[in-house]
Amino acid sequence: MKILHLSAVKTWGGGENHIFNLVKTLNSTYPENKNFVLCPNNSALYQKLKENDLSVSTSFLSLKIDPRYSSKIIAICRKEKIDLIHIHDPTALTLSIIADKLYRLPPFVLSKKTSFPIKDRRQTLYKYNYPKIKRILCVSKETRRITSKAIVEKDKLETIYHGTNVSANPYPSSIILREQLNLKEHQILIGNIANHIRAKDLDTFINVIDQLVNVQNKKELHFIQIGAFSKRTDALIHRVRLLHLEDHITFMGFQPIASQLISQFNISVLTSQSEGVPQFIYESFLMKIPVLSTNVGGIPEIIEHGVNGLLAPAHDHIKIANLLITLIDNVSLQENFIHRSHNVLIRSFSTETMAQKTMTTYKSIVNGK
């Protein structure tokens, strides 16, 4: 079987990490098959795939709808005799449909990686119900539930959780956060990894810090935020200055080795208002760091409140702040969460499990089932 994976995203995020993990694990587990990836030239995914000697091609993508990308899909399908196309984002889906109008492409598999609802617009509904899509792989049950509202043939929907490489031994980071930030031994380091996009709701993250430092006088806390800057970043930094929180939060920006820094956190915190299932939580489980998160998207499917982590309502910075203090003050609770979360990850959310379920779906489509 020959599978072509399509990405039209230039930056790095959980979706791109999923493609990398999936392709790498499929190659090692099912070497009889071949996986090809097409992504924008100079994209973060291209660099990561090349560094790991994985088969990748690039296309220009200067506009959201760039015919050169569609032409490249056709060229690869012709040359490699592709059996199946796995589409990983909405723009790649649009470009695939354009290509299919010009050349008869093989069947499609589409990944739905967020819990955003599909917009009730004619063109959008046409795209997501395109007949060549044989399966829509949803990252969580909640994503599947929300997506089903816009899909006519609901039996095309399938839930396959993303996975983490649980057998990897991550290299220690050359960045020692406590040394770099000049933190004292008694200070507590609380980490967040999220690109500066609306879904991650970093305004609430800052509100939590304000509540803890300025209202509750928890001066021993230091928060570190890792993620690609955007047009929202200046406003976030301005709010930090207005609240006089500069000594209690550090914005590190995009870090290509962000996952290697998680083991240095005391606690991982996520304040998103919308999610599929964030890789940051899986990696915190792997690194044995306790997690506090908002209960949005598929997160309640992997964190059971009070059992292997803590959950709070989105936007409720006071509730999040109070739960964080509860977790900080209860070391035995942290240890219970760490143990249970790590076991959950190994049992249900490995890259091997993800790849096995994905390959089963591929085979059923190619065999006409």
What are the CA-CA distances from residue 175 to residues 35, 264, 270, 294 (Å)? 34, 10, 22, 28
Distance CA 53, CA 271 (A): 35
Phi, psi of 84 (to 5 degrees): -155, 140
Which CATH fold would you assign to the domain 2-163+350-366?
Rossmann fold (3.40.50)
Residue 186's pLDDT is: 93
pLDDT at 168: 66
pLDDT beyond 70 at 169: no
Greatest extent of the chain over all pairs of C-alpha atoms, in Å: 64
Parts of the chain belonging to CATH 3.40.50.2000: 2-163+350-366, 177-348
Question: How far is residue 201's CA from residue 110's CA, in Å, rounded to a whole number?
Answer: 27
Would you state the CATH architecture of domain 177-348? 3-Layer(aba) Sandwich (3.40)
The residues, ordered by sequence, that sit 6+ positions from 30 with a Cβ below 8 Å of its Cβ are 355, 359
Residue 126 has pLDDT above 80, yes or no: yes
Averaged pLDDT, 131-143: 97
| Average pLDDT for the chain | 95
Tell me the pLDDT tens digit for each residue of 23-41. 999 999 999 999 999 999 9
pLDDT tens for each residue of 68-86: 999 999 999 999 999 999 9
Do the strands 133-138 and 157-159 form a parallel or antiparallel pair, or are they unpaired? parallel
pLDDT digits (tens, 9 = 90+) for 286-317: 999 999 999 999 999 999 999 999 999 999 99
Residue-wise over 28-41: b if at least 16 C-beta within 10 A, else e? eebeebbbbbbbbe
**Residue 243 CA to its chain's centroid (Å):** 30
Extract the tokens encoding 202.
């970093």
